[in-house]
Amino acid sequence: MDAADISQDLTRVLFTKEQVAQRIAEIAAEIDEEYAGKDLLIIGVLNGAVMVVADLLRAMKVHCEMDWMAISSYGSGTQSSGVVRILKDLNTDIHGRHVLVVEDIIDTGLTLSYLVSNLRSREPASLEIMTLLRKPEAAENAVDVKWVGFDIPNEFVVGYGLDYAGRYRNLADIGLLAPHVYS
Ligand code: IMP
């Protein structure tokens, strides 16, 4: 679905699918350069990063493997709970591997800092983070993120993999959710 199909649920469109594709292509080119000649493993964080991983990997020219982790975040609300749980672990042993974690969005950074310390304990050769979106609070925290698609305002966004109560993941654009939907 496009933003026009659910315009009553959105305050405004933040990024069109064309703007997202353009930014992902830029980051893919940088990742190609960084990992040329290296054995790269991409870890996608389910479910939100599905679209980012799918588009980023197809825009990249270097070889890579792909694995997935699922960790708990908001449940069905719009506030971070601070409680992080592994719901699905990796299938791959990352010891000695070059690992790039791909996230949909970093809000408080709580989920990411848990994930990073968990993955570091498995002793990868390197560990970097790419996130499509980042909210201001995360920018203030010392979360070391190598690639950020867009820094966005502190509002609730949906689309391109991001949900509210399980919906809107299949919106091709990224939009601000209208308050009447969640209040
Ligand atoms: P953090 O731990 O506060 O950084 O939260 C990260 C997770 O919360 C993300 O992976 C998303 O699942 C969810 N999240 C945070 N902000 C939003 C938003 O604006 N829209 C949809 N999900 C969000």
Q: What is the mean pLDDT of residues 133-161?
A: 89
Active site residue 107: yes
Top-confidence residue, 5 or 84: 5
Q: At what angle do helices 17-34 and 50-59 cross, to 10 degrees?
A: 60
Span from the CA of 36 to the centroid of ligand 1 (angstroms): 31
What pLDDT score was predicted for residue 82? 60
- Is the pTM for the entire model greater than 0.85? yes
- Which ligand 1 atom sits nearest the alpha carbon of residue 163? 21
146 CB burial (10 A radius; 0-12, 13-18, 19+): middle
Tokens of 85: 């749980």
Distances (CA, A) of 103 to 5, 69, 128: 26, 11, 11
- The 10s digit of each residue's pLDDT in 72-121 is 865 555 556 566 889 999 999 999 999 999 999 999 888 888 899 999 99
What SS3 class is residue 83?
coil
Please list every protein residue whose CB sits less than 6 Å from any atom of ligand 1: 48, 73-74, 80, 104-112, 138, 156-158, 162
Residue pair 169/47 in contact (Cβ under 8 Å)? The answer is yes
- Of 5-19, 30-44, 72-86, 136-150, the least confident: 72-86
- Pocket residue to mutate for ligand 1, from 107, 113, 115, 163, most atoms within 8 A of Cβ: 107
CA dist., res. 136 & res. 153, Å (int): 7
